[in-house]
Amino acid sequence: MKKILGVFAHPDDETFGPGATLAKYAAAGATVDILMATRGEGGENNLTEKTDEPLGKIRERELRNADKILGIHQIDFLDFIDGELRQNIYFDIAKKIIAKIKIFKPDVIITFEPGGVSGHLDHIAMSFITTYAYLQTDIPKKLYYNCISDTVRNQRGHEYYIYFPDGYSDKEITTRIDISGSWETKIRAMQEHKTQIKDVTRIAKYMEQMPKVDNFILKYHHLSKIKLPETDLFNGL
């Protein structure tokens, strides 16, 4: 049984990002685990009803509901604080990721590309930290960066963060996963992130017009031979 480990910063990152890919592989029998660095305590709360429940607890529940739909096997929280991942705690985060790698023994790891996909500084930190963690062991065979194409980037606009990084060209994207069969699963999972409903609505609207493909860059691998481009994360394994 093949294993995938997704490493992300905030609840909803795995759904809004490669959620359809994760759902596709889970449905095909792969074991998919998620490492979540924070509980999204510093994010917005789009819920209209008032509550005294801490936002982190609400977002954790939303994540678990969404990931049940995606077919995620297990979610582990690293217990860091939203907005603080770019502080000088890199090696603390890395140690926890490495510990999970040694226990779970994934074949493939997925995280953000170096621009964080959206430019979020926590995403950028997790990209670099996860890359470091991958390079510290020879257990996972492949490290993928989830990314968006330059076409999708231009369609999406530049308003999300202070700087929305460039997308990637066809030559840079090594791996394209057909998600047409798991697209509706992704949308249902996104809708569980009710505190982020503004993002859900905005992202779903522009993604509906895009090709049903998730894009990745194979950054590193421990394989003797690999043929690129590819259409399967387990190519060569």
Residue 63, pLDDT score: 97
Give buried/exposed letters for 2-14 (b at 16+ CB in 10 A, else e): bbbbbbbbbbbbb
pTM of the model: 0.95
**Domains along the chain with CATH numbers:** 3-221 (3.40.50.10320)
pLDDT of residue 161: 63
The mean pLDDT of the chain is 93
Length of the chain counted residue by residue: 237
Give the span between the Cα atoms of 43 and 232, in whole angstroms: 33
Residue 209 half-sphere exposure toward CB, CA atoms < 13 A: 10
Which of 229, 226, 183, 220 lies closest to 19 in space, CA to CA? 183
pLDDT tens profile 166-189: 899 999 999 999 999 999 999 999
Residue bearing tokens 């890199």: 90
Cβ atoms 204, 33 nearer than 8 A:
no
Hey, what amino acid is at 116? G
pLDDT in tens, 10-45: 999 999 999 999 999 999 999 999 999 999 998 888
